Structures are given as structure tokens and as C-alpha cells.
């Protein structure tokens, strides 16, 4: 039996993983549950882990995986898990979105910086299988993550992120941002008056501010694929 706070936290974490492909930060969990400190979140996470509802990923900062849900939540969940076991693939095949019995093949468009911005998105190099429940309406593509600036959101160097193409973003979305038509980076998007802030999820990286016309949104994060 879970307490109300434990159930509320599990529901919040699961909803955010389903929506964004990554768990919320400890600060976001604290604010959602109206707790005064993150120590309360640590205790709740430990309790959920001991009961087998979540798993902390080893050597990954604040990375959580929802293992199961109680009956009260399971009926409301799509069962999203940010992990894919990829089969053999033909990297020479034409990189396009195709449908298979259990997954969709979407193009991998090179690397994206989760750190200092690197070269803009390249041409498709190969494709990757993605679960159907990770894909919504619209066009999608994947990018290989390079860097650790988003590690506190569970996005690590070497992960593959699934992006839905869009040119608009809401405050707080994790987006692919094209900086001055030259560099692409994966960051949290926020409006700051007349400027745009690109926020990292690692205290080692400073928030960067740009004029609105310097930033073009190329897509929004909808999923994450990790190889173990």
C-alpha cells in the first residue's frame, strides 16, 4: 500500500516520462508535491524503489525508470518506458519513417549537443526503431546526444532522443534549438521578456540568452532511447 504522497509522486514521474521521455528534476518534484526540501523527495523515491515501483539507473544523475504502477494508476497509463532494444538494421537503407509490426523506423539526423552547441543537424545517416507509443501526429526524427548538460533530466551522453518536428515551443519544453542558423543544441526553452533562454540541466553549464530572431525551434523532445 502506498501513501498518498508516494502515489502522487509516482503518478507525476510517470506522467512526465510519458510526455517528455525523461523524468522530472528533483526541484520539479518538490514543487509539484509542495514539499519544503528535496530530502522529502529522496525519502519518497527510496520508498518507491524499495517497493519495486521505480528504479534508479546506476551512475546516472537523477535518472529514474518507472518499473510498474499500482492498479489505480495503471488504467490511466500508456506504459511508456524510455528504453528500446534495437534489432539488426541496414544502415545503407534509405532513412525514412517506416512502420513495422512493433515499431516505427525513423531517421537519425546526426548528433545534437547537450553541452556547447555543435554543427547544425546533418543529413540522415541511418534509421532507428521507435515504439509506436512514443510517436504522435506529425513528422519525427532522432538525434544522438553528445555531452552532459541535460544529465539532471536523465539525458546522457550517447542517448538517442526522439524529436517531433515543430517550429514553436511552450515555456519549459525541451527543444532542438538552432542558434543563428549555424549550431544546434538540446536545451530547455524559456522566454525571458523579449529574449529566449536556453537552460541546461547541469550546474556546470550557464543559461544562455539570445534575441528572439537568433533562435529557431527545430523540434520538441518526445522520447529517449538508451542502450545498456
pLDDT at 227 over 80: no
Tens digits of residue pLDDT in 79-135: 333 333 233 334 444 444 554 446 788 888 878 877 655 555 666 678 888 877 777
Active-site hit among 4, 187, 195, 216: 187
Shared domain check, 205 and 125: yes
**CA end-to-end span of the chain:** 31
pTM exceeds 0.75, yes or no: no
Q: Per-residue pLDDT tens for 133-160?
A: 777 778 888 888 888 889 888 888 888 8
**pLDDT confidence of residue 199:** 93
C-beta neighbour count of 108 within 10 angstroms: 19
Domain enclosing residue 178, as ranges: 98-225
Q: Is 106 in the same domain as 150?
A: yes
- Distance from C-alpha of 106 to C-alpha of 165, rounded to nearest angstrom: 12
Choose among 102, 98, 97, 67: nearest CA to 87.
102
- What secondary structure does DSSP assign to 150-167, as a single string? TGGGT--TT-EEEEE--S
pLDDT digits (tens, 9 = 90+) for 55-83: 877 655 557 888 888 765 554 543 333 33
Strands 140-146, 103-113: parallel, antiparallel or unpaired by DSSP?
A: parallel
Residue 16 lies in a domain: yes
Active site residue 187: yes
Output the average pLDDT for the chain.
78
Q: Residues for the chain: how many in total?
A: 228
The pLDDT value recorded for residue 152 is 86
Res. 196: pLDDT tops 80: yes
Cβ-proximal residues to 51 (8 Å cutoff; 6+ apart), any chain = 2
Count of structural domains within the chain? 2
Are residues 111 and 194 located together in one domain of the fold? Answer: yes
Of the residues 5, 99, 149, 227, only one is catalytic, namely 149
Q: Is residue 152 part of a domain?
A: yes
Amino acid at each position: 500500500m502506498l501513501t498518498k504522497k508516494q502515489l502522487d509522486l509516482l503518478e507525476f514521474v510517470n506522467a512526465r516520462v510519458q510526455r517528455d521521455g525523461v523524468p522530472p528534476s528533483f526541484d520539479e518534484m518538490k514543487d509539484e508535491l509542495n514539499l519544503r526540501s528535496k530530502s522529502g523527495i529522496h525519502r519518497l523515491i527510496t520508498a518507491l524503489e524499495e517497493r519495486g515501483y521505480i528504479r534508479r539507473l546506476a551512475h546516472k544523475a537523477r535518472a529514474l525508470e518507472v518499473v510498474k504502477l499500482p492498479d489505480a494508476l495503471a488504467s490511466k497509463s500508456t506504459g511508456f518506458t524510455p528504453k528500446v532494444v534495437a534489432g539488426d538494421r541496414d544502415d545503407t537503407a534509405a532513412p525514412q519513417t517506416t512502420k513495422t509490426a512493433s515499431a516505427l523506423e525513423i531517421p537519425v539526423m546526426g548528433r545534437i549537443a547537450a553541452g556547447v552547441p555543435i554543427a547544425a543537424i546533418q543529413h540522415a545517416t541511418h534509421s532507428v526503431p521507435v515504439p509506436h507509443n512514443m510517436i504522435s501526429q506529425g513528422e519525427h526524427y532522432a538525434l544522438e546526444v553528445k555531452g552532459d548538460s541535460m544529465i539532471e533530466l536523465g539525458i546522457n551522453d550517447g542517448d538517442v532522443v526522439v524529436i517531433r518536428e515543430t517550429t514553436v515551443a511552450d515555456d519549459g519544453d525541451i527543444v532542438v534549438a538552432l542558434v543563428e542558423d549555424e549550431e544546434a543544441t538540446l536545451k530547455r526553452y524559456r522566454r525571458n521578456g523579449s529574449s529566449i533562454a536556453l537552460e541546461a540541466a547541469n550546474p556546470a553549464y550557464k543559461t544562455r540568452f539570445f534575441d528572439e530572431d537568433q533562435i529557431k525551434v527545430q523540434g520538441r523532445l518526445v522520447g529517449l532511447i538508451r542502450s545498456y
